[in-house]
Homo-oligomer: A and B are copies of this chain.
Amino acid sequence: MIKEITEKKERLKTYMKQKGFKSTRQRDIIASEFFKCEDHITAEDLYIKINKRHKDIGSTTVYRTLKLLAESGLATARVFADQLTRYEPVSEDEHHDHLICLDCGSIIEFEDPKLERLQEKIASEFGFSIVDHNMEFYGYCRDCKR
């Protein structure tokens, strides 16, 4: 197990203790599996992965644990055009947005300070203060466009 994962699991443990939540075998397995799998996974897909080795862990618990991870700040929930809730590990509090390929489904992450600044500027013109935003581009990735 990679150091980074151990670290995240430690943070989860701390969060749970602080909240009076209990550490369980299920949460441990689900969190580990989540941290080492690809980004933007749905609860259902993570459940399918976990269910191969752990027949006794129910999908309800996977849903619940992903929610817990999001609350603890270790994961972020996102909803793209297919309307499914997807989770990704939080990468050192660095914000990013997404390019989503309509053909192969691949997701490219990017981060652009200029864009963020422009957003702030636009919002301020309306006297609006941004708490959060949601931005995705849909189209075709390099490989999928001809």
Provide the A124-146 mask, 1 if CB < 8 A to any CB of B, else 0.
01111111111111111110010
Q: Contacts A126-B99, A126-B142, A129-B145 given: A137-B110 contact, CB under 8 Å?
A: no
The answer to whether the Cβ of A119 comes within 8 Å of any Cβ in the partner chain is yes
Question: Considering only CB atoms and an 8 Å cut-off, how many residues of chain A contact the other chain?
Answer: 34
Contacting residues, chain B, for A83 (C-beta < 8 A): 79, 83
- Kindly provide the distance from the CB of A112 to the nearest chain B CB, expressed in whole angstroms: 6
Q: Contacts A135-B134, A135-B135 given: A141-B118 contact, CB under 8 Å?
A: no
A contact set with B: CB distance below 8 Å: 79, 81, 83, 99, 101-102, 108, 110, 112, 114-115, 118-119, 122-123, 125-142, 145
Given contacts A108-B126, A132-B138, 12 further A-B contacts (CB under 8 A): A81-B134, A99-B130, A112-B122, A115-B118, A115-B119, A123-B137, A123-B139, A126-B141, A128-B139, A129-B145, A133-B138, A134-B137
